[in-house]
Amino acid sequence: MVHEPCLSVLRFGLQRLGNFYGVWTSSFSELMLIHIVCFTDLFQVRTINTRGWKHQPVW
């Protein structure tokens, strides 16, 4: 499940990739940046959910 901060970063990244299309180094760097940001974002949410699970069931 992708939430809003990740989506806006992804949209911005895709616009940047469109501007720099053809420059592989730039495109690859920005793709990696998007991946790292999204992964960190999702990891933080997972950590929060794990902490919450100790106090109350998820289902």
Torsional sign, CA 49, 52, 54, 59: negative
In this structure, the dihedral spanned by the alpha carbons of residues 32, 30, 3 and 8, taken in order and rounded to 10 degrees, is 180
pLDDT at 20: 56
pLDDT at 59: 47
3-class SS string, 15-55: HHHHHCCCCHHHHHHHHHHHHHHHHHHHHHHHHHHHHHHHH
**Residue 25 or 31, more confident:** 31
**Residue for token pair 């806006």:** 8
pTM attached to this predicted model:
0.25
- pLDDT tier at 13, thresholds 50, 70, 90: confident
Mean pLDDT value across residues 12-38: 64
